[in-house]
Copies of this chain bind each other. A is one copy, B any other.
């Protein structure tokens, strides 16, 4: 199978990856836990060609193709280089990719994008059947988008599987499924308050994390939070999950804002949404907010609360639009291709 198309979803972290021991290899300073999404996906087609270089295209909704920026192409080709080295093969590829959601706005487009690229390339090399999930996760991680390691799996995902120490180990640093999507039907109502690219990349954020005077203390706090999230997942208990979810999201931004130089990912709309989520809780709805390294807010709730949460968030002037998403089963190998 020399041409493979994979749709891979974004994920939203309950415990955040923030700061790396080795940024190039995406070895994280701390374990993270995420929920794989369903609606927010990147679709990627990869084909082995006889050419002496890689071709990288963005696929447009109208069916046309455009050239991506040089930085994007460089990151894709670096990952293709990793996969050539891993497979011992020298061929080049034609790649086309498309997101169903705004890129680079803190909606983990690099997680879904590099997950889809990795799986599609492994497929194009004919190695899908012989590569175990842990290896696929490691390969996706090596893209440099660490959270791509989580997007190759569905449901609820931990990365790495085990302890803080394992996070430092190349061998140990892959994601595992903690529970399938069917275990707990959680919804994620995403309030999009900014669609432009963020001014500071996640990569720069990871790089600066340790310059925050509070970063070491954050790492001390994480084992307790990880324990709460694992217990909440096991019991499917949103009331247990929610406060830690929200505390952890704020924490990432506290570290960013106290880094040197400081990073401000929040926009005015972010605060408006956070305030509204607190109001929703006061009105009795079980809904908690989380954010990645960006301005948009993911509101985690159960299916019963989802319509009311979505309606309220859509009514806010600062919210451009709302994406109603939820936990998903992970990447899908498609029969149709982008080219």
A interface list, Cβ under 8 A from B: 213-214, 217, 220-221, 247, 250-251, 254, 257-258, 262, 264, 266-272, 274-275, 278, 318
Would A258 and B254 count as touching, CB distance under 8 A? yes
CA A214 to CA B318, docked complex, whole Å: 31
**With A217-B213, A217-B214 known to touch, is A250 a contact of B262 (CB < 8 Å)?**
yes
Which residues on the B side are within 8 Å of A262 (C-beta)? 247, 250
**CB proximity of A186 to chain B, nearest CB, Å:** 22
| Nearest residue, chain B, Cβ from A193 | B268
Which of B217, B221, B251, B268 touches A271 (beta carbons < 8 Å)? B268
CA A275 to CA B250, docked complex, whole Å: 19
Which residues on the B side are within 8 Å of A278 (C-beta)? 264
Which of B250, B264, B318 touches A274 (beta carbons < 8 Å)? B264
Would B247 and A251 count as touching, CB distance under 8 A? no
Please give the count of copies of this chain that the complex contains. Answer: 2
Main SS of the interface on chain A?
helix
Which residues on the B side are within 8 Å of A257 (C-beta)? 250, 254
| Nearest residue, chain B, Cβ from A270 | B271
Which residues on the B side are within 8 Å of A250 (C-beta)? 257-258, 262
Q: 14 other contacts beyond A254-B257, A270-B271, with CB at 8 A cut-off?
A: A213-B217, A213-B220, A214-B214, A217-B217, A247-B262, A250-B257, A250-B258, A250-B262, A251-B258, A264-B275, A264-B278, A267-B271, A267-B275, A268-B269
Which of B220, B254, B271 touches A266 (beta carbons < 8 Å)? B271
Would B270 and A214 count as touching, CB distance under 8 A? no
**With A268-B269, A268-B272, A271-B270 known to touch, is A221 a contact of B217 (CB < 8 Å)?**
no
Which of A262, A264, A271 has the most B CB atoms < 10 Å from its CB? A271
| Nearest residue, chain B, Cβ from A266 | B271
CA A275 to CA B251, docked complex, whole Å: 20
| Nearest residue, chain B, Cβ from A272 | B268
Which residues on the B side are within 8 Å of A258 (C-beta)? 247, 250-251, 254
CA A271 to CA B268, docked complex, whole Å: 5
CA A268 to CA B271, docked complex, whole Å: 5
CA A251 to CA B274, docked complex, whole Å: 20
| Nearest residue, chain B, Cβ from A220 | B213
Which of B213, B214, B318 touches A268 (beta carbons < 8 Å)? B318
